[in-house]
Chains A and B, each alone.
Chain A
Amino acid sequence: MRIDDFNPRGPADLVDPDTGWVSRRVFTDPDLFSLELERVFAKSWLFVGLTQEVAKRGDYVTRVMGDDPVILSHGQDGQYRVFLNACPHRGALVCRADRGNSPSYTCPYHGWTFQNTGKLHTAADDLSCYKGRVDFTHYDLVTARTQVYGDLVFATFDDQLPPLEEYLGDARWYLDMFFDRTPAGLEVLGAPVRWRARKNWKYGAINFAADGPHALAAHGPITRTVLEKFGMPAEMLRDLAIAGPAVRAGNGHGMIVVPNPPGMPEFTGFPPECVALYREHLKPGQIEVMKDMFNGVMTIFPNMSWVHFPLAFGADEPFVNFFNLRVWQPVSASETEIWSWFLADKEASEEYKQASLRIGVNTFTAAGTFDQDDSEAWAAIDAGSRGTVGKRMMSSYQMILASEDERIPNFPGPGEAYNSTYSEMSEFGILLEWRKRMEGVS
C-alpha cells in the first residue's frame, strides 16, 4: 500500500508543505494508522525508558514500541537490552508484570525459559527430542537495537536506521538542556502513570512540539487561576508566548520556549542548589536559553515529549518546576495510551523533588488540572473529524504562511528557530517528517 492509494492526487493533498493544509484522514484513517506503524514507528528510534528504572541487574520493566510489547532488561551481564516480549516458540508474552526483578522470563504456555540476556535456557522438552534437526540458535528472544543516551534508552527493530546520535541530531543540544544539565543527571520520581486518551497519537506529539495558543484557550481557567496569583495576567502570558521561539530541530523534532516575564529572576522555578551546576555543565548558548525559560516543551519524533515549567498552587508557595516526560503510544487511529513520568535534578533537595512531583501530579496527569482539558479538547477534535463529510476536510497549519520568513537570526541553538510559539512552524515540522516517512522516502 502506498500513500498515493489514499488520494489519487498524491501525498501533497494529505500534508501540503506549501499551504499548511492537512487532511483530517491523517488523524482518523485506520489504514493510514496501520501504515504509519510500519513506516513511522517501526523505522524510528523509540524511547522505552530510563536506565535507572532498571538500576539493578535482573531488573526489568515492560513497555511498548509502536504496537509491540517489549521488555527493557538489565541483564545479569550488566547490559541493557530491549526484547520483543514474545516467545520465539509460539509468540506468548514471556513477561506479564509491569516491572520486577528476575534472572529469567518464562513463557506461560509451554514453560520455555529465557535468560535476561535473551538466551534460550530451557524448552518444553529435552532438546534431544528434536533429533538434532532444529537449529536452536534461532530461539533466543528477538533483541532490538538498543542505545542509551545519557540515561534515556532508545530502541528500534530496524537494521537500517542511522545511529541514535545521528537520529537525534541537532535536537541533542535542546535535549541536553533538560536531561544532561548537572553531573548526576535526572532522577525519575516513581513509576509511569498510564491513561487512554480518545485521539490520534499525533495530536499529542504536535501539541508538545509545541502549541502556544492553546494554553489560554483549552487551559484558560487553570492558566488564569494559577498564574494571575503570581502577577502574570493572561495577556502577559499571551505576549510572552507570541514572543517565544519555535524551533525545528531537524528530523521532525521540535520545541518551543516561552520566556520569563520581564523582571522575573533568572532560573525561576529551578532548584537554587542546581543553578551553579547548570552553569558548569552546559554550554553558554544553552544557559542563555534556559536562564529565562518559563516554559519549555519538546517532541522527539515521533512520540516522545516533555513539558517543563514553574507553577505553585498556594500563594505562599514558591514557583517550582515540574518536569513531565511522556510517550504517546498508538493504540488505534483514535486511541492513544499516554505513559507519563516526572523527573527532577538528582542534586535537588528532597523537599524540592517532593514539591516538584506534587505540582506535576496536580497539573499533568489524567486527573491533572491541565491534562483534563487537553483530553477533552482532543476527544472533541476526534469526534468532529471522523464523519463522512468531516474527514474530507482539512486541518489548518496555515500560520506557517505568516511565519516562514520569521527566522530568528543569531539564535543560540542549532536548527531553525522562528519567531513565536504561535507560528505553527515546529508543530507543522512533525507533519512534514511524517509525510516524508509515509512516502517511504528515508
Chain B
Amino acid sequence: MDAKVKRPGQEQVNDAAYRRVLNFYYDEAELFDNHDYETWLATCVVPEIQYRMPVRNSLELGAKADLPYDNGYFMDDFNSLAIRIQLWSKHATTTAESPPSITRHFVTNIRAFPAEQAGRLRATSHVLVYRTRATEPRPYLFSARREDLLDDVDGMLRLVRRDITMDEPVVMSPNLSFLV
C-alpha cells in the first residue's frame, strides 16, 4: 500500500453533524416532492444563495472544459429562484407545471466536511429524480452530483451555494421545471 496516496473523502464531520446534514437533505427532498418550494426558499437557503447547473460536455479523456463562460440550465440567485417558485405555485398556473409534474428525489452518497470558514459546512451528495409530466406518462430520470456550501447558524443549516453537476450532455426531457 502506498501511504502517499490518500483516498478522497476523509476528515468528515462527526456523527452528530452528519446526522443534521442527512436530515437537511431529507427535509429538502420532501419539500421538493410535495411541491412546497415556498417553504424550501423560506427555510433552506440564505439570501445570498447561488444555485448553478452548467452544461456538461462529453470531452476527450483528460481534456478540461476551459471555456471563458459557463452556459447552462441554472444560474440563479435568491431573486430568480423566488420568481421560478412563484411561477410553480398554485397561484400562477404556469403552463409547465399545471398540472404539476410528479417527482421523487432520491438523495444518496452524502458526505459532509468542515468548511474553511467557521459556522459553515461543505457537503456532497448524489441525487436521482424520478419524474413524470402531464403530457408524458413515460418517466424521466435525472441524475446529478451536488456540491453544497451550507451555513450552520443557530442550529439551522441553510444553503449558501449549490453547484450541480448533471450526468448527461443532452437533457433527455423537454424541460427541467423542478429543483434538485
Contacts and interface: CB of A to CB of B under 8 A. Distances in A.
B173 A196 contact: yes
B173 A190 contact: no
B57 interface: yes
Majority secondary structure of chain A interface residues (helix, strand, loop or mixed): mixed
B75 A357 contact: yes
B174 A375 contact: yes
A100 B60 contact: yes
A375 B58 contact: no
Contacts of A373: 94-96
Given A218-B95, A376-B175, A226 B169 contact: no
A376 B71 contact: no
Interface in A98-114: 98-100, 102
Contact of A375 (B53, B55, B96): B96
B133 A221 contact: no
A267 interface: no
A98 B168 CA distance: 12
B138 to A, nearest CB: 10
A192 B84 CA distance: 23
A189 B71 CA distance: 6
B148 to A, nearest CB: 18
Contacts of B167: none
A411 interface: no
A237 interface: no
Contacts of A382: 135
Contacts of B42: none
A337 B84 contact: no
Contacts of A198: 135-136, 174
Interface in B102-146: 133-136
A195 interface: yes
A220 B94 CA distance: 7
Interface stretch (A360-368, A394-402, A426-434): A360-368
Interface in A209-237: 218-222, 225-226
Contacts of B43: none
Interface string B59-91: 110010101111111111001100110110000
Contacts of A376: 95-96, 133-135, 174-175, 177
Interface string A334-370: 0001001110000000000100011001100111010
B71 A357 contact: yes
Interface residues of A, number: 50
A378 interface: yes
A366 B71 contact: no
Nearest to A381: B135
Contacts of B72: 190, 193, 361, 365
B71 A369 contact: no
A383 B136 CA distance: 9
B171 interface: yes
Contact of B73 (A97, A193, A314, A337): A193
B176 interface: yes
A52 to B, nearest CB: 11
Contacts of B34: none
A341 B94 contact: no
B172 interface: yes
B76 A189 contact: no
A195 B71 contact: no
Nearest to A341: B71
Given A190-B55, A190-B67, 19 more contacts: A97-B58, A97-B59, A100-B59, A189-B69, A190-B72, A192-B55, A193-B73, A195-B172, A196-B170, A196-B172, A198-B135, A219-B95, A222-B83, A340-B71, A366-B175, A367-B73, A376-B135, A378-B174, A383-B135
The 9 closest A-B CB pairs, nearest first, are: A190-B71, A372-B96, A375-B174, A195-B171, A367-B176, A373-B95, A190-B69, A379-B135, A375-B175
15 contacts: A100-B63, A189-B71, A190-B71, A191-B65, A193-B72, A195-B174, A221-B92, A353-B69, A357-B71, A372-B94, A372-B176, A376-B177, A379-B133, A379-B174, A383-B135
